[in-house]
Amino acid sequence: MPHKWAMVIDLDRCTGCEACVVACHAENNIPTAGEDQAARGRTKHWIRVERYWEGEFPNARIRFQPVLCQQCDAAPCEPVCPTYASYHTSEGLNAQVYNRCVGTRFCANACPYNVRFFNFYNPVWEKPLNLQLNPDVSVREVGIMEKCTFCVQRIHGAEIQAEAEKRELKDGEFNPACVQSCSPKAMVFGDLNDPASEVSRLAKSGRNTKLLGELGTLPNVNYLERNS
């Protein structure tokens, strides 16, 4: 049976520490935009921790909400791409094929979650910061859309490893970088097609909601509501 990769984010566990944000930068060769570009709203954060204030002093409260590509089953970004750079893989991922992307940016406009990022310029690493680049991940050049891949390089690596050892993938054997780094275990990654996986178990929780679920995009990222 093919895998169906999915994630559960327990908002009751999330502390807003943003370890996932830096983990993602380190794993996926995401350049820092620098002050000028950041001021223009051009940072690339494949995952970000959104925070929403509720109430006024002294009863102010905060809600944290990590947002990454929701890997929607009915992804609004996919049908609008004229070149199939954005498409759905057999394992339920929204893939972005960099070499096929011509940069219409249509997908980014269509995405309700604003989790697609555009290379407005060629990325720059001041030497020797380039030595940190992960050779398992492409370095995207100017004019290309990019987005969270659920760390597809890790998925591939684990699948190739399992195949070499002639065995099935184990639940929790590998994790995307954000999930790996998450101290309070707010993020759990796994195969929804495996009923025994932790992600399947958590997805059945009564606290499960989908981000902008009313849009019908059928996200594969599940959020467990904060208050039990």
Q: Hey, which residues between 135 and 164 contact another protein (CB under 8 A)?
A: 135-145, 149, 152-153, 156, 160, 163-164
Torsion angle (degrees, nearest 10) of CA 171, 174, 177, 183:
60
215 belongs to the binding site for another protein (CB under 8 A): yes
Size of the site for another protein (CB under 8 A): 123
134 belongs to the binding site for another protein (CB under 8 A): yes
Instruction: Show contacts with another protein in window 64-123 (CB under 8 A).
Output: 64, 67, 76, 79-84, 87, 89-90, 93, 95, 97-106, 108-110, 112-114, 117-123
Residue number with CB closer to another protein (160 or 173): 160
* C-alpha–C-alpha distance, residues 93 and 184, integer Å: 25
Q: Please work out, in degrees rounded to the nearest 5, the angle formed at the alpha carbon of residue 96 by the alpha carbons of 88 and 67.
A: 90
Among positions 6, 7, 10, 220, the unique one binding another protein when judged by CB under 8 A: 10
26 belongs to the binding site for another protein (CB under 8 A): yes
Radius of gyration of the chain (CA): 18
Q: Are strands 221-224 and 94-96 parallel, antiparallel or unpaired?
A: unpaired
Give the other-Cβ count within 10 Å of 133's Cβ. 16
212 belongs to the binding site for another protein (CB under 8 A): yes
* C-alpha–C-alpha distance, residues 104 and 32, integer Å: 23
32 belongs to the binding site for another protein (CB under 8 A): yes
Rounded to a whole number of angstroms, the minimum distance from the CB of residue 194 to another protein is 20
* C-alpha–C-alpha distance, residues 170 and 66, integer Å: 26
Among positions 9, 21, 68, 221, the unique one binding another protein when judged by CB under 8 A: 21
40 belongs to the binding site for another protein (CB under 8 A): yes
Tell me if residue 199 falls in helix, strand or coil. helix
Among positions 1, 56, 196, 206, the unique one binding another protein when judged by CB under 8 A: 56
Rounded to a whole number of angstroms, the minimum distance from the CB of residue 220 to another protein is 15
Rounded to a whole number of angstroms, the minimum distance from the CB of residue 192 to another protein is 18
Q: Please work out, in degrees rounded to the nearest 5, the angle formed at the alpha carbon of residue 8 by the alpha carbons of 7 and 14.
A: 125
